[in-house]
Amino acid sequence: MPSTQVQWNNCTVEVWQGDITTLAVDAIVNAANPWLAGGGGVDGAIHRRGGPVILQECQAIIRQRGNKPLEAGEAVITTGGQLPARYVIHTVGPVYREWTPQQAAERLAACYRNSLALLRQQGLRSIAFPGISTGAYGYPPEEACPIAVRTVREQLLTHNACDRLIFCTFSERDYQLYSLELTRQN
């Protein structure tokens, strides 16, 4: 399926429908759980395809933090293991029902900001995001999508963050949501 594309501050931003673990970009973003332990959905797919090195690095990060889990909105980085992507940025999205709508929106936006900050710090130039928190964490995609696109747009216009950014959707419905929002905010 052809992707929807826009240009923000010399970065090609696109919506693509498919499996994020197949993308050959500098970094893919993992919608991780607070303990970085792998799991279902995107998180499980990334750990399965990337191999055990990702989990080993995640466990080392948790140990370095004094065995404390990540808070919603935080992000950390590991290598990509056997993935086509060189790195995985793990971010913990908010569990929608555990926050007020405003708090959930703030935490979700922090996931995108902090992931892009890690990308810049590492000198990486391409990234792919899944729909953070829109699976098991229950964030309605129609609410999460405008937050994701707006936050990314603000970051790209403020920082020369990257050359290519992909919103990777799994479903046709989400593909349509992100395509419309990208066009709307362009």
Say which residue the tokens 């995001």 belong to.
129
- Please tell me the number of Cα atoms within 13 Å of 14 on its side-chain side: 15
Residues annotated as part of the active site: 43
Distance from C-alpha of 1 to C-alpha of 4, rounded to nearest angstrom = 10
